[in-house]
Amino acid sequence: MRKAPFLYLSAFLMDGGLALASLCIPLLAIRVGGTYDDLGALRATHSLTYALGAFWLGRLADRIGYQRSMAACCLLLVPVFASYYYVSAVWQLFGLALLTGIATCAFWPSLQAWLAEGQKSDGLRRRIGGFNMSWSLGMVVGPGLAGALYAAYAGLSFALLAALFFAMFVGVALLQVREDGREQGDATETASLAAARIFLPVAWIANFSTYFAIGIVRSLFPKLATDLGVQTAHLGYLMALIGLAQLATFALISRTERWQFRLWPLVAVQFAAMLGLGVLAFSASLIAFAGGLLLLGVLIGFTYTASGFYSLHSIAPGGGRIGIHETILGSGNLVGPLAGGLVGEYIGARAPYMLAAGVIAIALAAQAIYLRRAQAS
């Protein structure tokens, strides 16, 4: 099998499974008595181990091989998700959240670094676009299935996830993958490599605030919605809209380079996301919630692409830099749900979304200041 389709399929299956889990786990936590700060702390626990692991194992994958790292991650996920079937108390979920972070932390850096090998700017943009559309499609399918599946067969959801990851382990470990030819660079490519080094910290800052916000939404919005009487199936469809907006954004920006090495598109999507978070903070309408979640999906689509592109656009092996990229988004997923859970528990159920909007505003200021200084020097 050719490398690019193999990695696109792997991204779809992995993120589809993890997206299904990201809705089923909060619903399970609510069923066994979880509170707002419990839900935030659960996501933070997963993100802590993921962020630490991605930083170190991204570099290790450059040495031991990307396919081996991906296979090991899939195998580790099998007993972890099988164990969710036996959960009867919130404290048990914390141990499983920690193990889930450990089991996934090398998968995404390995996949992205392997995909980017030998690609110059245009080829890299197209490949990142294909990869992003693949995992984003998983984010659409996973939550859409999760709400209806968990409502009908709560325990079966986790058994199906364990079976999925075992099948992925077999496929990743045993399939023969054909490597693609390497593209040759030119003088224009050299200039874009230099520009990427300047814009990389800007994209990393934006990616942190993005995942701070989306970590809050994914961990806490299910409880807000259920408290407001939203049906479980409808909640699944609402969360799937984030992935749908990501998918559309990835498809659009993979076809043009006009957004590259410019600040204004990044600024525009962050302002739009602040508006979306305001909707979540003040509305109770399903239609309004849908609009706010769509804006957040656009934010993820743009900032994730920018961070991934600038991280991988280099002549050196990409595992280390893409590991930092994953560590930064994992850190946002760590701090966001933890802070949001505390704010939601002690200030109010809507307060976490205003907190997220404030963090994005601070990040926007930091991006502008850094870029002005970098271009001046």
Nearest Cα neighbor of 221 from 331, 336, 360, 125 is 336
User: Would the pLDDT of 375 be above 80?
Assistant: no
49 in Cβ contact with 57 (< 8 Å): no
**Fold of domain 3-174+187-376:** Growth Hormone; Chain: A; (1.20.1250)
206 in Cβ contact with 306 (< 8 Å): yes
Tell me the domain boundaries of the chain.
3-174+187-376
Per-residue pLDDT at 58: 73
pTM across the whole model: 0.80
Per-residue pLDDT at 190: 67
Mean pLDDT of the chain: 87
- Residue 100: pLDDT band (50, 70, 90) is very high
Between residues 313 and 213, the one the model is more confident about: 213
| Phi, psi torsion values for 357, nearest 5 degrees | -65, -40
Per-residue pLDDT at 186: 53
Taking only the tens place, the pLDDT of each residue in 30-53 is 888 888 778 878 878 888 888 888
Per-residue pLDDT at 317: 61
Nearest Cα neighbor of 111 from 319, 330, 327, 325 is 319
Q: How far apart are CA 131 and CA 109, in angstroms?
A: 12
For residue 52, give every residue at least 6 positions away whose Cβ sits within 8 Å of its Cβ, in sequence order, or none: 105, 327
Taking only the tens place, the pLDDT of each residue in 109-144 is 899 888 888 777 778 888 988 898 898 888 778 877
